[in-house]
Chains A and B, each alone.
Chain A
Amino acid sequence: EADIYQTPRYLVIGTGKKITLECSQTMGHDKMYWYQQDPGMELHLIHYSYGVNSTEKGDLSSESTVSRIRTEHFPLTLESARPSHTSQYLCASSRSQAWETQYFGPGTRLLVL
Chain B
Amino acid sequence: AQTVTQSQPEMSVQEAETVTLSCTYDTSESDYYLFWYKQPPSRQMILVIRQEAYKQQNATENRFSVNFQKAAKSFSLKISDSQLGDAAMYFCAYTIGSRLTFGEGTQLTVNP
Count A interface residues, CB 8 Å: 27
Are A45 and B99 touching (Cβ within 8 A)? Answer: yes
Q: A106 to B105, Cβ gap below 8 A?
A: no
* A1 and B98 within 8 A (CB): no
Tell me the B19-77 residues at the A interface (CB within 8 Å). Answer: 33, 35, 37, 43-47, 50, 52
Decide yes or no whether B100 CB sits under 8 A from chain A.
Answer: yes
Cα–Cα distance between A22 and B12 once the two chains are bound (Å): 36
A85 to B5, CA, bound (A): 25
- Whether a CB of chain B sits under 8 angstroms from the CB of A94 is yes
Interface assignment of A20: CB less than 8 Å from any CB of chain B:
no
Quote the shortest CB–CB distance from A36 to chain B (angstroms): 11
Contacts of B50 in A (CB 8 A): 99, 101
Chain A minimum-CB-distance residue to B92: A42
Q: Helix, strand, loop or mixed for chain B's interface? A: strand
Contact residues in A for B100 (Cβ distance below 8 Å):
33, 43, 45, 102
Instruction: Give chain B residues whose Cβ lies under 8 Å from the Cβ of A106.
Output: 43-44
A104 touches B44 (CB 8 A): yes
Q: Are B98 and A43 in contact (CB under 8 A)?
A: no
Cβ-defined contact, B99 with A99, below 8 A: no
In whole angstroms, how far apart are the Cα atoms of A89 and B97 in the complex? 22
Tell me whether A1 and B44 are in contact (CB under 8 A): yes
Q: How far is the CB of A61 from chain B (nearest CB, A)?
A: 15
Least Cβ–Cβ distance between A1 and chain B, in angstroms: 6
Instruction: Give a binary string over A15-38; 1 marks a CB under 8 Å from any B CB, 0 the rest.
Output: 000000000000000010100000
Q: Measuring CB to CB, which residues of chain B are less than 8 angstroms from any residue of chain A? A: 33, 35, 37, 43-47, 50, 52, 89, 91, 95-105, 107
Instruction: Please name 21 pairs of A and B residues whose Cβ atoms are closer than 8 Å in the assembled complex, sorted by A.
Output: A40-B105, A40-B107, A42-B91, A42-B104, A42-B105, A43-B91, A45-B101, A48-B98, A59-B99, A59-B101, A92-B45, A99-B33, A99-B95, A100-B98, A104-B44, A104-B45, A104-B46, A105-B44, A106-B43, A106-B44, A107-B44
5 smallest CB-CB distances across A and B, nearest first, come from A104-B45, A42-B102, A99-B33, A43-B102, A101-B47
